[in-house]
Structure 1
Amino acid sequence: MDKERIVFNLTLKAESEIAVSPIDSELPGDESSKNGKNPPRRLPRIRPTLNAMAYLPSSTLRHMIRKNAFLSLVDLGITLPSKSVLVLAKGYVSQEISEAAAKKKEKNRASTKAEWLAEMEIRKANPFIDLFGYGLGFPGTLSVGHAFPVVENEKYESVIGLYNRGVRMPLTDEEIMGISESDQETYFRILELLGGAAEEKKAEKKKSRQAKQRQESIEAGRVNPEVVNNLPEEEEKEKKKETQLQNPYPPYEAFNPGVQFDWRIEIRRASKEKVGFVLAALERISADPVVGAHAANGAGRISITGDIYRMSPGEKIIEGKISLGDGFFDVSGNYAGILSEWREIILSRDFSKIA
């Protein structure tokens, strides 16, 4: 198996909306926002236009696989060296790059036979690092592709919608009484900040708009001017306070529920350990199949179905089928019992060191 490739040809289905809009991805002046204010966040796109090809990025999907593969080891009581876990963490990578720059000499790959043999020993000793890699100079053997939505006539806008996360509400009296006095002081200082100049301006605009609407109603004879002009002052203050504290989140762009995606995972120089890592990750994902942002609002729920192929020169042989969703996981064919075998192999290994 070590000279073969194992390919997962998968269909990923959105069971709820899927949002993967990155930071600083706003669409200024979008039609759905008011005068370009509070614009929605945009999905990753191949080209920087509204109707361009949209997709679920491989980085998000690879992280999902890698995290759950690692946690599958944790579930078995196995620990890994810190570097093999932290190598993809942003802060750790930044530090590594800084240190490499300070040394003024950084090798991307093994440049001598001795270094190459050392790398091969590491790969043999630690299939997790062999699969997922170890930084720029130690690439993994796992390839996780983008997931592209299945659309007709390249009309990507048909699979995308705008979703609102709602508003950030102030605490109720009961909730305030449930926190410590020091936290109450902190909370009310925050409220003072929220009621700053920008919010005051919004409230004044709303008040002016309401006054205009009242005047139009009076002139049209729809309401009694004495009732309109004598609203209790405290009620007005309370409305203004509520307006200040209900801070709306910007909307976000997401793939609509029901959208299906073509997704491919490939393992080069495949082994039972490496195939087992991917299957163990997918099995673990089935316990909570969520990808992307806004999971607290029910977004990101997925299901996956597909075929597993063994690829060798001139051959493409189906090895089995896989399906997973919320609380179910099934692998059929030649890999039906591989996870039990994988656990036995993994438990016999020593992951206490990289080499």
Structure 2
Amino acid sequence: MFKACVNRSVRLTAKSTLGPWYLSAGRNSCVRFNSSKAPGSDEIKSEIQTQLPSFDQATTATSDAVASLTDQASQVVGDASTHIGYLSSIGLAKSWWWPPELIQNVMEQIHVYSGMPWWGTIVTTTVLVRLLMFPLYVKSSDTMARNSKIKPELDAINAELMASTDMIEGQKVAMKRKKLMADNGVKNRYLAAPILQVPVALGFFSGIRQMANYPVDGFTDQGIAWFSDLTLADPYLGLQIITASVFISFTRLGGETGAQQFSPTMKNFFTIMPLVSIPATMNLASGVVLYFAVNGACSVVQTLLLRNKWFRKKLNIADVVKHAPSTNGPAKGIIDTFRENMQKAREQAERRQLMQENEKKMQEAAKEQKASKTIKIVRRSDFNKRSKK
């Protein structure tokens, strides 16, 4: 219990129909209060209960705020991804010379300016790159066709060159081969067209995989059909099966140039390898395997065009000459063929080393002979002095 003395002054003013009245009172009074219950505690308690929200209400409000912020952040990222420079802002597409970053830059340009989803961007970019490389494949197909015309003579010259151990004789055979190829319009530099596909394919593979691993905004919901998420693996292996099928098709048809003549052993090899690639690529992102499938489909279409006689005539591509297969012994398997090629390469390396040693010996002999045949001019006076001595 405690006492509290309060100097209390109450002033009340009111208006009524009878007129205003005024009451003022002031006096000093001491009031005794109970320590366990303060005056007005019930009112304070009710006010606290009505002003402070419950725990459930606070949790709900916090969740709503977080969801609102998340939506706003997603909207900001989505708006940024539709502008040029988004990929560089997240550490991708930093240059225009490195193949993966070059592919990323090209894909970003197509995605932003065309408004296509990412699956359409991958397909469009792949087709455009194949169209740009098509003239090189036309030249390569023409070179292979001209090469097939002189294949028997060229094989004989190559065998003669492989068996040569003399430097001069080897140079003569090499000149003979060069003349044969020049007379038939064979330019080996165009045979490198299929090799250029290697850095391009690696650029697509690495660039799209980086975008899927980040992941780039839109990769998770801008797929199509059964692979709506380009960052996840194809759950049905449909893209892998399509890729294997198209690769088997165009190798059976004559490669990407339509003019390659594979042996039965090589055809079996190119049939097995695409099938092995199915389990090897089953965990890759769908965006990466989508590129493989579209690129393989482009190869099939290109092969069919380059095998068409009317199309080859319009583009002035030589016709492929098919020769009868060699009947020297039974057909060899892949392992036997690989061993034979390794043995030939080893023998060729030994011959080259022997030729280099012979060339060094010939150079040393020529130097000695030149030194022994050197003529010195001596004055007559010096000669007379030497004779007197």
**Normalized against structure 2, the TM-score is what?**
0.19
User: More strand by proportion, 1 or 2?
Assistant: 1
User: More helix by proportion, 1 or 2?
Assistant: 2
**Normalized against structure 1, the TM-score is what?**
0.20
